[in-house]
Structure formats: structure tokens, C-alpha cells
Structure 1
Amino acid sequence: MCRCKKAESDIKVVIAVNNSLIEKYNEENETEYAELSPSLYSLSSTEVTIKKGEREALIPINLKPDQFTFDEDYAIGLTIKSVSAGVISGNFGNIILNLGAKNFFDGVYKYTTSATTSLVPNANKTVKLVTVGSNKGSLDPGLLGTYSNEVVYTIDVATNQITVACPSLGVQTPQDVRSVYDPATKTLKVYWKQAGGGRTFEETFVYTGPR
């Protein structure tokens, strides 16, 4: 929590969870943030002191990301209830914290395609895999790192095999069993065909860092 001017004396600040802020924000901004269940986090304290000469103080939030379902954009709304001195700022009195979790392969990747890949052969670019589930990642940008078509990769955590979903093109089944994830190098090698076999795609993703 922060204030614009340096505190002239120690200021005790009391905060409270106020998730009504989330509903209001969603209505005003056409977003779909979901309230994070209280069972998935705790505030280390609801009181903090901004020391004399300082502008801010921190309140750690303890999260349990291993229990997130990854199917929502989570948020927590916080409100400053009272201060021991001064006036609560209209700009900083309320805050919404977006707490989107990331799965184990979310990140930035070097992306290449084979010479025989349809539409965009011999690609060599940077893309992102964005969490859409505990073991699912959406290609950003979309198909072949070029088009807007959504493509989602699912990694079976027991076998490391990968399956592909592309709603606009469809995917031929059964899917290619060569599609695998190497957790040691965080590399995905993916082979798939458009439904009906019209187009063939061979992709390699090599992890370079978090997004």
C-alpha cells in the first residue's frame, strides 16, 4: 500500500478484503476476473505501518498456487479501512490484485518449424505458451506463431505426450505419438495434421525464460 507524500510521522494503516471491487471492475471494463477463494490465500496481517519519511509499506499475501485450478483469472480486492493520520487517497484507497497462476510450461520459447510444415515452413521466431489450464498452454500469437487461430497444447503429466487442439482447423486423430515434452530441457516437439490431413505441422518449442 502506498501514499504520494512522505509520511511526516508513523502512520498505521488498516486494510480489509473487499471483493465487491471485482464485480464493479468487471462491469466497468468488460473483464471476467473471479474472486480468489479465501482457502487459497491468507494475508500476513491486516495492519501495516508506513514509517516516518517513507511513502509505502508492504503486506505479504501467502498464496497456494498448487491448489489453483487455472481455469479462471483470479483477483483479490483490497480497501484501506482506516489510517492513523492524514486522508485516505481516492486513487490508492482501493486496489484489485490480479493473481493469474502459471503452469509448469508457461513461458517464452524459441519456436521453429520444419521445411515440410504447411503455411509457414522453416519458421524461426519467439512465441509464448500461455497457461489455460494446469497442463494446457495456448500459443501466443496463434497458429504457427503467425495467425490468430487458437492452438492449445496439452501435456500428459504422466507420459509427457502432447495432444493438440485447434478449433478452427480441427486436428486429425488419432494424434501423432511422437509429440512429446522433455521436462529436462523444457522442449516441446509437436507433430500434428489438420482434420482430414489437409495440412501437416511439425513444431519445436525450446524454453528461453518466463513471460
Structure 2
Amino acid sequence: MKKYILTGLSALSLLVTTSGCLQDKGYTDIINAVGAQPIVSIFGSGSGNKVLGVDFKTTPVATELFSVNLGSPAVLTSDVTATVSVDPTLLTGTGLELLPADTYSIPSTQVTIKAGQRDVPFVVNINSSKIDLKKSFALPLTITAASGAIIASNLKSVVYAIKVNNVYAGNYQSTGRFEHPVATSSRDINRSKTLSTIDATTSETEFADLGGSGWTMQLRINADNTVTLIPTGNANASAKQAGVNKYDPATKTFTLNYSYPGAGGDRVITETIKKK
């Protein structure tokens, strides 16, 4: 099953983006197979550095990361094989740790491009439930050998920073009411929100309707499905529970009641956040 592969997430912006760059000559070499030599590569946008978003699952999920491409002037009449290996040296200077061996498996490191073909997918089985969500892991891969072709030196490597989404992450609709001591400042809440993963039981989203001011909050689901609200970002650190805070797993809905102090009295928020 193919997963979404995202680029440029700020949480992992320390990835160096120069490796695997598509240089003009490299591009010409692959398209025209300079010297009539077939060339294998992780072609185009498949190489370089990526952020791989995977959902939290308790069983391994087959994930197609990229395709190994064969460049040649004409379709070949014989098979070409390429070996893809884990290369920890690609993580030097990135601040990322090598994905632990017990969190993934590679069904076959050897890819065979059959005669008449151009691309073959490379698949990894990822067991996201075994990944420590508090750490920044990556899977670095390189084409290390080829039979029947040469390797494109500048399009042979890729680093996947792994971003695991917990079961609560996703897009939600928020409805509710923001009560302010000044009546004219009170208002209804009706807006889309995104919950992003902090760890297996905690997600972060905007605080009430104040996301534009940098106010955020973390929602931690406890064993009894009560919710602990933690103000983050620019949110008032004195924000507190002001009623029932709970999560309904059947409807994927958060029911929140919270408040924070300010001039003239507390601001009180009643909010329902339901997954779309």
C-alpha cells in the first residue's frame, strides 16, 4: 500500500537537501545513456531527502517508497538487477537517528528490472507501533550495486525521515463557543482544525480560535478517555479545565471545556472537535 511522502516539513527541516540533486549532466546521462550504457537510478523527485508520513499501525504495512528506474536509449532485451542497501553514513550531520532494525523489514534488497521494463517499485514493511514517537528517525537508502547497468552517481540515494501519525492525527471540524467578559468579544467557533502527532496518545492543535496568534494546545488522551489539555505555543500558561474534557473513540470526537484568565475575568471555551 502506497503512503503519502511529504517534503519540507518544518519539524524535520534540518535535512540537508543537496545530496542526490539533479545536475544537468546527470539528467542527460540517464535520458540518453551516454556511451550506450544502461543506467539505474532513484529517478527525479524520488531521490534526495524526504519526510515519510505513516499511520500508527500495530502490524507491519507494506510501503512503496520509490521506483528504481532504468535509463537506456532503447528498451533492453535482458534483465537488469540493482541492490538497494541501508546506508547510515547518509545521516551524518542531519540530527536524525537510524530507524531501529526491529521497526521495519525489506522483503528484498535486490530489485530486478525485467527485459522491456523501465521501473520497479522498492517496498519496505514498516511497523510503526514499534517506533518511539519522541525520537527523530530516518531510513537512508542507496543503490550499492547493479548488474547489466551502471549506477547514476548523483541519483542513487534517498533519506526518509519517518513521521508517524498517531490514531488521533488528522483533519477535524471544531464547533463551539468562546465566551468573553466583554459581550461583544464573545463568538461562535466553527472552523477546521488539524491534529498533529506529539506521541502515541498526545496530539497538538490550535487553542480555541487563536491559532493565528500562535496559541496552541496539546490534547492527551488518558486510559479512561478523559483528556488532559496542555497549553503550548503562545497560549496562556494558566489555561485550565472548566468542565468535562473527554474523547469518544466511537465517533472520534473531543468534547472540551477550558478557560484562561485575563483582564476583566476568565475567557471560557466550550468546544467539540470531530474528525472529518
Common topology (TM > 0.5): yes
Partner residue in 1 for 2:21: none
Structure 1: segments with no counterpart, 5+ residues: 27-31
Q: Is the 8 A contact 2:178 2:268 kept in 1?
A: no
State the TM-score, normalizing by the size of structure 2. Answer: 0.64
Tell whether 2:96 aligns with 1:33. Answer: yes
Partner residue in 1 for 2:5: none
Q: CA deviation at 1:78?
A: 0.4
Change (3 A) 1:62 1:159: same
Partner residue in 2 for 1:129: 195
Question: When you count strand as a share of all residues, which structure comes out higher?
Answer: 2
- Select the residue among 210, 214, 217 that pairs with 1:151: 217
Change (3 A) 1:204 1:98: same
Tell whether 2:138 aligns with 1:69. Answer: no
Partner residue in 2 for 1:85: 148
State the TM-score, normalizing by the size of structure 1. Answer: 0.82
Partner residue in 1 for 2:250: 184
Tell whether 2:234 aligns with 1:165. Answer: no
Aligned mates of 1:117, 1:182 — CA distance in 2: 28
Partner residue in 1 for 2:123: 60
SS state at 1:114 partner: strand
Structure 2: segments with no counterpart, 5+ residues: 1-66
Change (3 A) 1:76 1:120: farther
Provide the identity percentage.
24
Partner residue in 2 for 1:29: none
Q: CA deviation at 1:33?
A: 3.4
Q: Is the 8 A contact 1:117 1:202 kept in 2?
A: no
Q: Is the 8 A contact 1:106 1:130 kept in 2?
A: yes
| Corresponding residue pairs, total | 199
Q: CA deviation at 1:60?
A: 2.2
Deviates more, 1:147-156 or 1:119-128: 119-128
SS state at 1:90 partner: coil
**Segments of 4+ moved more than 3 angstroms:** 117-120, 195-198
Aligned mates of 2:252, 2:146 — CA distance in 1: 48
Aligned mates of 2:161, 2:118 — CA distance in 1: 23
User: RMSD over aligned Cα, in angstroms?
Assistant: 2.4
Aligned mates of 1:52, 1:138 — CA distance in 2: 49
Q: CA deviation at 1:127?
A: 1.4
SS state at 2:148 partner: coil
Tell whether 2:101 aligns with 1:20. Answer: no
Tell whether 2:180 aligns with 1:112. Answer: no
Aligned mates of 2:96, 2:271 — CA distance in 1: 33
Q: CA deviation at 1:172?
A: 4.1
Q: CA deviation at 1:199?
A: 2.4
